[in-house]
Amino acid sequence: MAVSRRKFLAGAAGMVAGQSLMMMPAPAHARIALGDIQLDVVSDGSLALPGGFIFDPMPQAELLPILENLGQSAEVLTPPCNVTLMRQGGRVVLFDVGSGPDFAPTAGDLLASLEALDVAPDDVTDVVFTHAHPDHLWGVLDDFDDPLFSQARYMIGQAEWDYWTNPNTVDQIGDARASFAVGAKRRLDMIAQQITFFTDGAEILPGVAARACFGHTPGHMAFEVRQGSEAVMILGDSIGNDHIAFARPQWHSGSDQDPETAAQTRLSLMDQLSHEQTRVIGYHLTGNGVGYVDKTSTGYAFVKEG
């Protein structure tokens, strides 16, 4: 009997997930209920980055005591990758799709994490991208370079799409990020027929509104999920870590493509989130990324749930 590529991949994913589950506990996840909306935070693994990737532009004499006080190494960063899964009625929605197998050896665990929740790639009805960096986008294709979530429609901010699909971006982004541009364009081109675009403030799905958070990338979006008076903000990388981004949000970060705009975005967003006490899900915030933003005398702090 002939086996289709899709069935082969589904079976392989199930085998990998099964082996992973026998070797270790099911991937940790947090669950949030908002009326008829269920949000699960699932793991795509983690990254291992040199500290300078974020810290190099910052005033070192001020930076190091803050990091020491927060228990954060200045040399190595190991941020988690927290993918948000939303289910409502017949919709199964992913906000970002992780790294896939080609970006980092410590990441690419999304399929096993979804399997632990009995969610298969073909169950996903919608994929929404915060932005097109590798650890958020590169998991969109399978091992045969076909769209992994074959039944899904895809959504991305118009400005983000325009930037990464522009053939001039690879020549303008700088050598350190040239591979990001090549990888993003190739993957976005593969889903071009299934993708739709939105702008700031659009209700992209029932109860889900786009929030422009430019700076980390030119068209980065966050998403407010709301039911009545309750809301959760899916941050993506608009607040990129749980230490210095909170303690000194005004400082420029080496991870941001437009550091000045990103700093303004962080300050505005944290002011709103702390004032309204909105629960957040951060892609690279500690643990499952779920918590609140608390205003302090010198900046802000991430208050982790659980």
Tell me the per-residue pLDDT of 105-117, one tens digit each, with 9 for 90 and over. Answer: 999 999 999 999 9
Q: Which helix (H) or strand (E) holds 111?
A: helix 110-115
Distances (CA, A) of 215 to 118, 211, 262: 36, 13, 4
| pLDDT tens-digit map of 168-179 | 999 999 999 999
Please provide the average confidence, as pLDDT, over all residues in the chain.
91
* Predicted local distance difference test score (pLDDT) of residue 3: 34
Q: Please state the length of the chain.
A: 306
* Predicted local distance difference test score (pLDDT) of residue 43: 96
- Does position 124 have pLDDT exceeding 80, yes or no? yes
* Predicted local distance difference test score (pLDDT) of residue 91: 98
- Which domains does the chain carry? 5-304 (3.60.15.10)
Q: What is the CA radius of gyration of the chain?
A: 19
- Can you tell me the mean pLDDT for 190-197? 97
pLDDT band at 29 (very low <50, low <70, confident <90, very high): confident
* Predicted local distance difference test score (pLDDT) of residue 28: 55
Tell me the C-alpha distance between 205 and 72, whole Å: 37
pTM passes above 0.75? yes
- Does position 6 have pLDDT exceeding 90, yes or no? no
Residue scoring higher pLDDT (17 or 48): 48
pLDDT band at 287 (very low <50, low <70, confident <90, very high): confident
Phi-psi sector, 93: left (phi>0), alpha (psi -120 to 50), beta = beta
| Beta bridge partner(s), residue 42 | 83
| Burial of residue 201, with CB atoms counted within 10 A of its CB: 0-12 exposed, 13-18 middle, 19 or more buried | exposed
- The edge-to-edge listing of strands for the beta sheet with 279-282 is 203-205, 208-212, 221-227, 230-236, 279-282, 290-295, 300-304
